[in-house]
Every structure is written in structure tokens, then in C-alpha cells.
Structure 1
């Protein structure tokens, strides 16, 4: 890819916009470049030009180790996807989906037309909510030093056993809560995806993430879904914290993955 000055960065695929003002006018993508659409048979790929020297295969191997650069690209990528999904249903593509030029993008739309169309139909009128449950310690995790004096050793062991009992009971309560949450929210959503629990070191929030799920919800059912989350959160034991965020573009349910030509 390094032989050309610019290549095409693909953000998302949506329905081709009809006549009228450009719905993406003023939207800027990676590097502040303006976005445009590449259309084929009723579909539109939202793309922008990026420098080939920065995004070819060799360059990306190094740049993906640069967290500052990666954060900037990810922020720009999501800004475009958010702008697209505000105006129409869309299939978001993964970070750094790249093609040699717009003609290659057009060929992908033609080749994968049925797959894109199927996903767009499935996502139309639906949004994603993220629901997380955290196990929160209600007592110190470190054993306090035993007091000196007669019987202090026995008292220390008693306190230690009591802490373990409360910890085990807390885990049971949190597990039961996760089961109730999932069962009730599945009744108010079209689909669910479970993700790997977040690392406490990376998330920098209190507690251990024990449930990390995404739910695909019909727009007309959003109020019912959030109401159920609110009730479940009120019923949560002290050992648990429930968080919900959204609505988001349904990334977790846009299962069509395109590798591009530079990944």
C-alpha cells in the first residue's frame, strides 16, 4: 500500500442517502480529514482519505504500540460512527479497516451486499445498552492484626473465618443478582452479547467486574428496559453495584467483520 499517497479508511456502511443535503457534511475523520460516501446498489460506505505512509501494514505494527496515536485514531473513528448512526442505521467497522482506494471499497460493497443488507435490517430501529455488575467489598480485604493478650489467637481465627463466610455469601448474592439481571433484561431485548470482564487496573473503578454484557433493544422498548435496570439496581445487595450506559451504536451486534487490505 505504501506506493500510493493516500488510501481509503472505512468507518461504517449504511444505506445510501437520498436526494438532499449531505448528511455527513462537516464530519471529520482520522487526521481531521473530511468524510465522504462510496455508493453501490443502495449501500454507502463512509470513508476518508488517510496517508498511506502512516497506515500501511508496517507502519501500523509500530503505531498500534503508540497509545497516544491509537487513542486519537479511536476517538476520530468513533466520532464518525456516531455521526453516521445519528442519521441512519449503520454497520460500524473495526478500527483501521483500510483499502487501496474507493474503487476497492465499492467492490467490497458489491461482493458483500447481501451480508451488509442483512445486518442493516437486523439493526434497524435498535440500539445497544451496556450493563455491568461489580462486586464491591463491604469489609477490609486485609486481615487486621490480632490483638495481644489471652485468647487473641483464637479470636483472630474466628474473625478470619467470619470474613471468609461473609465473602462467600457476598459472591453468592452477586452471582444470583447477575442471573436475575440477565434473565429479566433478555425479556426486554432482542439479543445479548457477553464480553470479557473489565480489568480493575484499566477501568480504575471500585470493585471487580463480574458481569459485562451488551443488549440489543428496540427503540420503543428503551423506557421499559431502563426501568427494569433501575428496579434491579435498587434490589442489588450491598456487595454489588450495577451500571448501565447507552444508548450506543450497536457495535456488539454488527458481526460482519471486514479485514481490509492493510490489517
Structure 2
């Protein structure tokens, strides 16, 4: 069974090849397929691992998925250093070079529009987290020891102590909730102002859903998860804008990532449904 074609990204024709030691998915060296004034970066991959049925199995294997995603991103990152590519979805596979050319032909107008929009631009990511402190747990009210003593006076004294402790406990709980609410209001206000400021220095922005700490294992609660399309010549100034705000609010953490290929701003080609392309389906 002949090899299939794994496609990483589409770009304008390159002025020079990528590094000879660059390894892609499965350790295969990436190469180019040209058509209609466009260039697809591809690797030859074994059909028994990347056919449609094999991909269905592999995409349920988290280790395989993570390894493939790393190799996929490595090639796109290398490409982003020399051009502005349109990244394709993870595990986009075609039967042969003809299938890749057919995709370039079909999607040529849309791909050219994307390449024009992201030309000489990169993606920066900015996240804001509320750094949650490990507070001492609020103790629940305890009954007075007099309740166990003999004599009505001791029991009455114990009851009064329990009532007082209960009121103190509820007051502390209300104060804690009010404090948390204030922290969230302050975080949301800061995040909105930061986003508004950074948007002035970006050509386009994308607001992604806040990330779950259970999935990312990042400390704190994510209140801003945004992407910004920035011209390469403005990237240093953009990063300086973020750095200047990092320590502005105690208890809030600002993270800057990038520059990346324009993942959030590149509409990806629709995968063909005919027999020339084993489709991986939607993947993260």
C-alpha cells in the first residue's frame, strides 16, 4: 500500500527550502507540493497508520494524538519563521499529490484571501488568570461544651455560645463571598481594559472561551483567553504593551505566548469528501 500525504499548511511559494533536518509527523521530512500559485507543505506517511479507519482509532489514543500534534506544530512553527502560512487542521490527509493539488485548486480563492489577510502577520496569545490563594478553611460553628454538662445553667450558657459562634461563622462566610465577588469584578474589569488596549495594536482579535484548569492544569482561573493578529513589524511594541501591564494588579497573572502562525485567523480548507482524501474528521 502506497504512502499517503499529510498536509500541514498552505503558503505562498517559498524563496528557500526549510532546514534539511526538520522532521514532521512520523519523523518524515516535509516537502512541498505546488499548484495554482500556492504551496502545500506535506509529508509522506504510511497508509496503515493514516488511512481513514486507522485515524479513527489513533485519534482516541491521547499519546499518539499528543505526539502527532507536536510534530504538526513543529513544522508549522518552522514555516512561520520564513512566511505566513495558513495552518491546516490536525491530521489532514490526502491519497496522493494529485489529491493535494485538487484541494489547492478547489480552495484557491479562499486560500489566497487568507494569505493576503495574514501576510507578514503573526498570532500572539494573551491570558489573564485570577491567582486563587489557598485560604484557611472557615471552621463551622461548634456547640458549646456546656450542652454536655449537668445543670440548666451550663446548658443555657452553651446554647448562647453556639448562637454567637453561628452568627460569627455566617458573617465570615458572607465576607468571604463578597471578597471573591470583588476579586472577580476587578479581574473582569482589568481583562476588558487590557483587551481593549491590545486590540488597538492588532489587525484582528479573537476571544476564545476561558480554559478549564482541569484540562490545562494552569494555576488560577482563566478570565481572558484572547488571540491577536499583529504585523511582524509591530510585534515588539505589542509584547511591550503586555509586559507593561503584567504587574499592575496584585492577584492577577498575565501570560503572553507567541508569536505563532495565525491559527486563530486562518480559515481552513473544507476537507473533500471524495475517495481521493481519507478524512480525519474534526480534531482539536
Same fold (TM over 0.5): yes
Q: Which has the larger radius of gyration?
A: 2
Aligned partners of 1:25, 1:258: CA distance in 2, in Å? 30
Aligned partner of 2:153 in structure 1 is: none
| CA displacement 1:111-165 (0-9 Å, x = unmatched) | 2212111111111111111111112224627433346663222111111111011
On the 8 A contact 2:83/2:120 being kept in 1, the answer is no
Provide TM-score, normalisation by structure 1.
0.91
Does 2:262 match 1:250?
A: yes
Shift of 1:25: 3.0
Aligned partners of 1:138, 1:241: CA distance in 2, in Å? 13
Shift of 1:92: 0.8
Aligned partner of 1:171 in structure 2 is: 184
Aligned partner of 1:188 in structure 2 is: 201
On the 8 A contact 1:133/1:178 being kept in 2, the answer is yes
Aligned partners of 2:57, 2:241: CA distance in 1, in Å? 45
Aligned partners of 1:46, 1:139: CA distance in 2, in Å? 48
3-state DSSP of counterpart to 2:14: coil
Aligned partners of 1:148, 1:175: CA distance in 2, in Å? 40
Shift of 1:236: 2.0
On the 8 A contact 1:24/1:35 being kept in 2, the answer is no
Aligned partners of 2:134, 2:92: CA distance in 1, in Å? 47
Structure 1, gaps ≥5 residues long: none
Aligned partners of 1:141, 1:184: CA distance in 2, in Å? 37
Q: How many residues are aligned here?
A: 257
The correspondence of residues 196-211 of structure 1 with structure 2, limited to 5 A, is 196-211=209-224
Q: 1:214 to 1:194 in 2, by over 3 A?
A: same
On the 8 A contact 1:173/1:237 being kept in 2, the answer is no
Does 2:102 match 1:89?
A: no
Aligned partners of 2:88, 2:226: CA distance in 1, in Å? 20
1:212 to 225, 231, 236: 225
Cα RMSD after superposing both structures: 1.8
Shift of 1:213: 0.7
Aligned partner of 1:49 in structure 2 is: 44
Between 26-35 and 131-140, report the one with greater CA deviation.
131-140
On the 8 A contact 1:37/1:45 being kept in 2, the answer is yes
Provide TM-score, normalisation by structure 2.
0.85
2:234 to 216, 221, 243: 221
